[in-house]
Amino acid sequence: MQNADTTKYIIHSKIGADGIIERPDIVGAIFGQTEGLLGSDLDLRDLQKTGRIGRIEVVVSAKGGKTKGTILIPSSLDKVETSILAASLETIDRVGPCSAKIEITHIEDVRATKRHQIIERAKFIFTGMFDENLPESQEIADEVRQSVRIEEMQYFGKNKIPCGPAVFDSDAIVVVEGRADVLNLLKYGIKNTICVGGTNVPPEVAELTKKKDTVTAFTDGDRGGELIIKELVQVANIDYIARAPDGKSVEDLVQKEIVRSLRQKVPVEQVIDKYVIKDQGGPAESSGRAPRLPKRKERRTTPAAPVADVKRVPSSQVKRPSREQTRERDPRKKEPREAQKVEKAPVAEKTKKPSSPENKRFKDHASDLIGTFSARFLDSKDNVVNETAVRDLVSTLKDYEDEVKTVVFDGVVTQRILDIAADKGIERLIGAKVGSVTKRPASVKVLTAASL
């Protein structure tokens, strides 16, 4: 019996006989009539004994006194020997008492069939099974990366605040909102990060910011990120503010977006109105009114102002308090009038200063810079010697060695910028507005673009 694994070819043939014959008759005729026909090397009995020819399959049916059927002979011989054996079958002309005819229809190459099956199966494996395995491989890689990032994450203080390994030794740190933000920045190699865990800034983080040279607040591009910055500005020492793109979270940013956001960081002095003054004054008040309120109260206590105000009040208005002297409404009404009169005096003084030709010559520079967030350095002849972005103004002023007499910029004049200008011998600072300045050096004139 031939092993099916060694079969190379299958000889397909059909038989027709004029009479009724059965399978044993056909098999006997094949062995009997081919015996000795092709020599001992191709004798069917010997080939079958050695397993080079398989079991002969015969399927017949009789109808109307005639028999028809098919014959299948498996062969492990080569092409030539198989062809000779197939041709010998067609020499059989009688089966039993009946005349018969055998015709070869085709020879099937079993290996070609197997190759076709292999190709079809390979297609399925390639398109189906590999697609299922790829996500698993990706998950393995992500799991390895995640485990490495978690191992790199450390904890700061008694409250175990998540942070990067470089927070302890680095002079510059990045303050983010949550643990997921720290993990995402660690993924892209930013290791000097620490989180605040929400709007309630831990005291440990606030103290840490005061010990570092540079502190950058990096928050989400939504309302929550703005609230965190407002609290950080109040309780911590923040130098720069960076925001994620609108509607995006820091934990969802890719490397390109993270780098772009950190490069576009803005000095906290330039946005102090947005995060401090506006918050104290309330949403209905403009940012410029809040700092004026204490000044009004101080001037009410001076004796000279009420006297001057009473003289200016018309006589018709003076008679009214005389009718109701016993009531306490009059002092209350006088106070706002006095405050209004007192307000007019400093406004009149401020409007006189811009009329100076010395200040007007900088008006063109201030107009050109509106909306650009840029700064210009002017020499003693009012020539532009350098231009820089407002966010880099502090660092540029510190390192600038050439002569600069005037700095015009589209930003807020802060105490820090004012101190640096005094150290550098700068005579004038012209900004979009003046921030919270408690100490004004006599050597530096502070102007705003609106006053030119």
C-alpha 389/C-alpha 214 separation (Å) is 18
Picking from 327, 351, 375, the residue at the C-terminal end of a domain is: 351
184 domain residue, yes or no: yes
162 domain residue, yes or no: yes
- pLDDT of residue 278 exceeding 80, the answer is no
Give the CATH number, domain containing residue 202: 3.40.1360.10
Residues in the chain: 452
Judgement on whether residues 159 and 247 belong to the same structural domain of the protein: yes
Q: Which residue has the higher pLDDT, 373 or 295?
A: 373
pTM of the model: 0.38
Looking at residue 415, its pLDDT comes to 86
Percentage of the residues of the chain whose pLDDT score is greater than 90: 36
Judgement on whether residues 375 and 432 belong to the same structural domain of the protein: yes
Domain that holds residue 374: 357-451
Opening angle at CA 421, ends 419 and 427, nearest 5:
125
Mean pLDDT of 372-376: 90
C-alpha 390/C-alpha 372 separation (Å) is 9
Picking from 317, 333, 351, the residue at the C-terminal end of a domain is: 351
List the structure tokens of 344: 């007019």
Judgement on whether residues 320 and 394 belong to the same structural domain of the protein: no
Looking at residue 15, its pLDDT comes to 94
- Nearest alpha-carbon partner for 202 in 164, 168, 156: 156
Give the CATH number, domain containing residue 35: 3.30.70.3250
33 domain residue, yes or no: yes
C-alpha 19/C-alpha 283 separation (Å) is 111
Judgement on whether residues 257 and 319 belong to the same structural domain of the protein: no
C-alpha 341/C-alpha 207 separation (Å) is 46
Judgement on whether residues 223 and 308 belong to the same structural domain of the protein: no
User: What is the 3-state composition of the chain as percent helix, strand, coil, each rounded to the nearest 5?
Assistant: 50, 20, 30
Mean pLDDT of 326-349: 43
Residue 440 DSSP class = -
Picking from 112, 146, 173, the residue at the C-terminal end of a domain is: 112
289 domain residue, yes or no: no
145 domain residue, yes or no: no
In tens, the pLDDT along 378-405 reads 998 889 999 999 888 888 888 888 889 9
146 domain residue, yes or no: no
Judgement on whether residues 342 and 381 belong to the same structural domain of the protein: no
119 domain residue, yes or no: no
Judgement on whether residues 368 and 334 belong to the same structural domain of the protein: no
306: pLDDT confidence band, cut at 50, 70 and 90?
A: very low
382 domain residue, yes or no: yes
Judgement on whether residues 307 and 362 belong to the same structural domain of the protein: no
Judgement on whether residues 321 and 371 belong to the same structural domain of the protein: no
Q: What total of structural domains would you count in the chain?
A: 4
Task: Specify the range with the lowest mean pLDDT, choosing from 168-177, 293-302, 407-416.
Answer: 293-302
Judgement on whether residues 324 and 361 belong to the same structural domain of the protein: no
C-alpha 212/C-alpha 204 separation (Å) is 13
Judgement on whether residues 70 and 104 belong to the same structural domain of the protein: yes
Looking at residue 293, its pLDDT comes to 34
Q: For the chain, give the mean pLDDT.
A: 79
Task: Specify the range with the lowest mean pLDDT, choosing from 79-93, 105-119, 303-317, 410-424.
Answer: 303-317
Judgement on whether residues 74 and 174 belong to the same structural domain of the protein: no
Mean pLDDT of 138-150: 69
Looking at residue 189, its pLDDT comes to 86
Give the CATH number, domain containing residue 411: 3.40.140.20
